[in-house]
Amino acid sequence: VSPRLRKALALFGRLPGVGEKTAHRYVLHLLTASGDLASELGRAVLELPTHFAPCSSCGNIAELAGATSAQCAICTDHKRDAKLLCVVARVTDLMAFEKPGTYRGVYFVLSGLLSPLEGIGPDALPIAQLLKRIQSEQIREVILATPATVDGEATALFLRREMQALDVTVSRIASGIPHGGDIEFIDSVTLGRALEGRKTL
């Protein structure tokens, strides 16, 4: 395989859910598809970092408008309850919780979970930033909406302990989320109910 091809394959392979086989399929498709798919895709990808960045408050994806600091559409929506904070592992989970359209609070994206097995400790996550935000913005309630996996539960437990000294109600999304379930693939109704039925810890 030519170095150029090998590089393209390796880059596709770094995308979530794309293994060696799929990377091959994508690259072959780009090389053989009619029209301009490869250049169009390349241009669209190239423009992404110029127009989008992680929200400076919550970690959601924010569309950059002008030179103002990046804040997402949720954080800048004044009709939302800024004192109700839902902590999620990933942006895809945030999007899943947004789908039912019933949650009116704001979010904090951890961009990962604690994982002793993979060597991901508290220092690898923006936990200090989360605790600071809870205090400085006088958050009333934190909903721990990490998935019902070993790492998700461990992270929720750790965060609950860290928040014990703070003047804030901490709740955990209700079960009904299957154990080991990936939040982004759970239907909207179940997710809406999980938020509604959250339990104070």
Binding site for Zn ion (CB under 5 A): 55, 57-58, 60, 72, 75
CB of 121 to Zn ion, least distance (A): 25
| Rounded CA separation 126/92 (Å) | 17
Which of 8, 96 has the CB closer to Zn ion? 96
Closer Cβ to Zn ion, 38 or 82, answer by number: 82
For Zn ion, the closer of residues 9 and 61 by Cβ is: 61
Nearer to Zn ion, 20 or 63 (CB): 63
Contact present, 87 and 143 (Cβ < 8 Å): yes
Least separation in angstroms between CB 169 and Zn ion: 21
Measured from the CB atom, the residue of 65 and 117 that comes closer to Zn ion is 65
Q: How far is the CB of 74 from Zn ion (least distance, A)?
A: 5
- Give, in degrees to the nearest 5, the angle at Cα 81 between 54 and 126: 35
Question: Which single residue is written with the structure tokens 């109704």?
Answer: 189
DSSP 63-119: E--TTS----TTTT-TTSEEEEEEEESSHHHHHHHHTTS---EEEEE-SS--BGGGT
- Least distance between Zn ion and beta carbon 59 (Å): 7
SS3 for 118-151 is HCECHHHCCHHHHHHHHHHCCCCEEEECCCCCHH
Least Å distance between CB 106 and Zn ion? 7
